[in-house]
Amino acid sequence: MKILLTLFVLLLSSSVLADDISDFQIEGMSIGDSALDFFSEKQIKENEWDYPNKKYTRVQNDNLSFFNTYDSVDFNYKTGDKRYMIHSLSGIFLYKHNVEDCYPKMDLIINDLKNNFNPTEFLDKETFKHGNDPTGKSEVTDAIFRFKSGDIVVTCYDYSEEKGDTDHLSVSIDTIEFYNWLVDEAYK
């Protein structure tokens, strides 16, 4: 059974508890799906960007006409994988110069997840410096829901003016392998 992560309301019976992250969907996509089922290889290649550590490749898809809930959907696949199997999937809400609107929506999503799912562990909101901003002024606030097969991470990104990126809220579904790599290796 697939469970859609939507804006605020999770469309499922409260008696259904998912414990495998591949049961969750963002815009119809799930962990383990081939990105080729949703995008052409040309679309994937045109929207790729690399991390300093190149084990995974990120694909950023902004404002495509088939996104119903999110402003953007990003995914990550293992670099060189010709099937483009999704290891991480994120739905993004953009907040140009208005990160304060991010936090109430973040709280709603966290509460929905808490009320409808039973993760093996929950790590409440924590704020820290963004590791990819040399100015040290950008901040990240996240909450993590741990499941047996991976994590759902709800994050507000507050970028400094110097960094120049767009503030946003991300709802991410990550395999354990990808999440550990992102935290420990991606920017090294």
pLDDT in single tens digits along all 188 residues of the chain = 444 444 333 333 333 455 678 888 999 999 999 999 999 999 999 999 889 999 999 999 876 667 889 999 999 999 999 999 999 999 999 998 788 999 999 999 999 888 878 899 999 999 988 877 788 888 999 999 999 889 999 999 998 877 778 889 999 999 999 989 988 999 88
> Which domain covers residue 131, as residue numbers?
1-188
pLDDT digits (tens, 9 = 90+) for 51-69: 999 999 999 987 666 788 9
Distances (CA, A) of 24 to 30, 91, 123, 182, 185: 6, 12, 19, 20, 26
Token representation of residue 128: 């820290």
Radius of gyration of the chain (CA): 16
Who contacts 143 (Cβ-Cβ below 8 Å, separation ≥6)? 106, 110, 122, 123, 124, 125, 126, 153, 154, 155
Q: Return the closest-CA partner of residue 96 out of 154, 162, 164.
A: 164
Please tell me the distance from the alpha carbon of residue 90 to that of residue 110, in angstroms, as a whole number.
15
Per-residue pLDDT, 21: 84
The 10 Å Cβ neighbour count of residue 15 is 6
140 in Cβ contact with 168 (< 8 Å)? no
Distance between terminal CA atoms of the chain? Answer: 37
**The pTM is what?**
0.83
State the total domains in the chain.
Answer: 1
